Amino acid sequence: MSAPYAKLPLWVEYALIPLINLVVAFLVAGLVVLIVGESPLRAATLLVQGAFGYGEGIGFTLYYATNFIFTGLAVAVAFHCGLFNIGGEGQAYIGGLGVALACLWFDNIVPWFVTFPIAVLAAALFGAAWAFIPGYLQAKRGSHIVITTIMFNFIASSLMVYMLVEVLKPLGSMAPQTRTFADGGQLPRLDWLLSTFGLDIGGAPFNLSFIVALVAAFLVWLLIWRTRLGYEIRTMGASPSAARYAGIKDARVIIITMLISGGLAGMMALNPIMGDQHRLQLDFVTGAGFVGIAVALMGRSHPVGIIPAAILFGMLYQGGAEISFEMPNISRDMITIIQGLVILFAGALEHMFRPTLIAFFATLRGTRDPAEAPAAGG
């Protein structure tokens, strides 16, 4: 009996267990730091200082977190429907094409606030389009979405190289990237937001996308827990046969969910392209699509969990950069390890400490729970 519904207090279920998993992941990461001959404690101090110690650090932390909120939400929405969308990376990449095209067309004609909604729409549309085929194939032909989305990441990568090298690169330029957008293709930074807290953002590209990400998080919460579509998505995810019984059209819900998921992933491209680089470059996603998996797992697929999880990873990205200045043995690849460890402990091994905790709380109460669940069938 694996007791999936064994009762634990809510705060244990939603706060303590994720916390323990996280702590273990960081302890193992600390071990790696030890192996390369540095002090884990000092690394941790540097990390936190680098990420939160000063205005620019915070700006960068939130800038990275913006990416991860989008991709985390993308993964989470699909999770609710029982779909594992590993394709966030590719969808974000293609979403970048949408943003770039919108900016390239409009940046010289209209001010940024006109380009902005078009770019948001284009990002979402392009990302959604890239998620549509895997979604459609899962819904109509039963093709395993994990595999198809992995394949689509690689296809996206090839496609984008082609687009940048052969199509979008300005004549005479060597670098595979678009021209730099004019002012109409640049999002304003949020200096004022941090300066209200007395912080100087410095050169950090913390920009309007962050607000878009927060709005998206709220909308996702609304969608999943407060709308009919969300109800259908959750029913599909929890029990496809119950969904069929309830007259929920599974193919439709799967496809719509993937469109939303892909759209969210695509919107991630706003942040680096329109908010920071102001041009489309090769590999601008830099793994954010995959970080989304860790963020969604850590945040238990709930926006309230995803935002802090995204900020945590933002901290790792920013603080990690900071550490690498101070500790030559630790590059930003340390984040990749931590990311893997978080996925391992918060995802694949999420139940490892549960039996211990259940036993612990049982003894704490002094009595064993008069348990429920008379399972069917003798």
Partner 1 sequence: MDYFQIALVTLEATIRLSVPLILAALAGLYSERSGIFDIGLEGKMLAAAFAGGAAAAVYDSAFIGLLAAIAVSVGLALVHAFASITQRGNQIVSGVAINFIALGATVILGQAWFRQGGRTPQLDGDSRFQAVTLPFAETLQSVPILGPIYENLISGHFLLTYFAFAMVPITWWVLYRTRFGLRLRAVGENPGAVDTAGISVPRMRYMAVICCGILCGFAGAYLSMAVAAGFVKGMTAGKGFIALAALIFAKWKPLNVMLACLLFGFLDATAILMQGHALPLIGEVPVQFMQALPYILTVILLAGFIGKAIPPKAGGQPYVKER
Partner 2 sequence: MKNADLGWLRGKHMPSVVGQTNREANGWHMGDLAIELRGIDKSFGAVHANKNINLQVRKGTIHGIIGENGAGKSTLMSILYGFYQADKGDIQVNGAPTIIRDPNTAISLGIGMVHQHFMLVDNFTVLENVMLGAEENAVLNRGITKARAELKRLEDEYALEVDPDAVIEELPVGLQQRVEILKALFRGAEILILDEPTGVLTPAEADHLFRILEQLRDQGKTILLITHKLREIMAITDEVSVMRRGEIVATRETGKTSVEELAELMVGRRVLLRVEKGEANPQDVKLAVKDLTVRDSRGVVMVDNVSLDVRAGEIVGIAGVAGNGQSELLEAITGIRQAENGTVMLDGEPIRVTGEADPAELRKRGLAHVPEDRHHMGLVLSFEENENAILGYHYDEQFLNGPMLNLNNIRQEAAKKAEEYDIRPPDVRLKTANFSGGNQQKIVLAREMGRDPTVLVIGQPTRGVDVGAIEFIHRRIIEMRDAGKAVLLVSVELDEIRALSDRILVMFAGRVVGERTPDATEGELGLLMAGVEEAQEAAQ
Residue 242 or 348 having the CB closest to partner 1: 348
Among 2, 5, 141, 142, binds partner 2 (CB under 8 A): 5
Q: How far is CA 121 from the centre of its chain?
A: 19
| Type of residue numbered 220 | V
**CA gap 202, 59 in Å, rounded:** 8
* 232 binds partner 2 per the rule CB under 8 A: yes
**CA gap 278, 271 in Å, rounded:** 10
Q: Which does 367 bind (CB under 5 to 8 A by kind): partner 2, partner 1, none?
A: none
The pair of three-digit structure tokens given for residue 360, joined into one six-digit string: 């612990």
| Type of residue numbered 206 | F
Q: Which does 100 bind (CB under 5 to 8 A by kind): partner 1, partner 2, none?
A: none
Span interacting with partner 2, options 166-174, 188-196, 243-251, 258-266, rule CB under 8 A: 243-251
* 332 binds partner 2 per the rule CB under 8 A: no
Among 142, 172, 198, 247, binds partner 2 (CB under 8 A): 247
Through-space distance between the first and last CA atoms of the chain, rounded to whole angstroms: 14
Q: Which does 360 bind (CB under 5 to 8 A by kind): partner 1, partner 2, none?
A: none
Helix (H), strand (E), coil (C) string for 154-221: HHHHHHHHHHHHHHHCCCCCCCCECCCCCHHHCCCECHHHHHCCCCCCCCCCCECHHHHHHHHHHHHH
Catalog residues that contact partner 1 under the rule CB under 8 A: 1-2, 32, 35-37, 84, 86, 133, 137, 141-144, 146-148, 150-152, 154-155, 158-159, 161-162, 165-166, 290, 293, 297, 329-331, 333-341, 343-344, 347-352, 375, 377
**Residues numbered 14-73 forming contacts with partner 2, rule: CB under 8 A:** none
State in angstroms the smallest separation of the CB of 55 from partner 1.
Answer: 29
Residue 95 or 237 having the CB closest to partner 2: 237
Q: Following DSSP, what letter does each residue of 138-154 receive, concatenated?
A: HHHH---HHHHHHHHHH
State in angstroms the smallest separation of the CB of 90 from partner 1.
Answer: 10
Q: How far is CA 168 from the centre of its chain?
A: 27
**CA gap 249, 98 in Å, rounded:** 30
- Contact positions vs partner 2 (CB under 8 A): 1, 3-5, 7, 222, 226-232, 234-235, 238-239, 241-242, 244-249, 368-378
